[in-house]
Structure 1
Amino acid sequence: MKLGIIRCQQTEDFCPGSTCFHVARNKKGAFEGTDGNIEIVGFTNCGGCPGKKAVLRARMLVERGADTIAFASCIQKGTPIGYPCPFGRRMKELLVKNLPENIRILDYTHDAPDEKKNHSGSLRSDASKE
């Protein structure tokens, strides 16, 4: 897997992305069950509310070799500030619409501290294309 991660610009002052890197390296969280190596191609932010640069940045990650784009948990789960992005769902819809179909999209990287550890990240599905 060649991974690009998109994070929330608002959380950059609170989180350096260490947990995202840790779970990818150790195949935990959304990466549990991944076969083969995981190479992080890039780690960038969404461009600020309302995620206006997420598609451009995802395309850049794909151009640099990413076959999977993950939204960092700060976007979908609200870690570490406890507030999920109100634009997260829309950003995912735009990525699904604007990226090649062979690019996998993960909803998050790791569970929030208070969540059980038995969840896995969802991959792009036919239902998400509607």
Structure 2
Amino acid sequence: MASCGGCPGRDAVRQAKEMVRRGAEVIFLSTCMTKPIPSEPACRYSEEIAGAIRKNAGVPVVMGTH
């Protein structure tokens, strides 16, 4: 697990690249980023972060962990 680095996901791509370097094949964005659970708001940057990870880290991104 790693933090996105704060709004608007300043460290997400770097973190994802490091995970890939260590063997990750898929990156999961936490459910709290993608859905307003247990309360509002969901991360308004989650789609942008997912796209940047897909583009720059070259791995699939799953929206939500469970």
Scaled by the length of structure 2, what TM-score is found? 0.88
User: Please, which runs of 5 or more residues in structure 2 have no aligned partner?
Assistant: none
RMSD: 1.2
Task: Quote how far apart the aligned CAs of 1:64 are.
Answer: 1.1
Question: Structure 1: any 5+ residue segments left out of the alignment?
Answer: 1-42, 111-130
Aligned pairs, number: 66
**Aligned partners of 1:80 and 1:54: how far apart in 2?**
23
Higher percent of residues as strand: 1
Name whichever structure is richer in helix by fraction: 2
Percent of residue pairs bearing the same amino acid type: 33
CA deviations over 1:99-128 (Å, ceiling 9, x no partner): 22xx22101112xxxxxxxxxxxxxxxxxx
Structure whose alpha-carbon radius of gyration is higher: 1
Instruction: Write out the 4+ residue segments of structure 1 that deviate beyond 4 Å after TM superposition.
Output: none
Match of 2:57 in 1: 99
The residue that corresponds to 1:65 in the other structure is: 23
Q: How does 1:17-32 map to 2 (within 5 A)?
A: none
- The normalised TM-score by structure 1 is 0.48
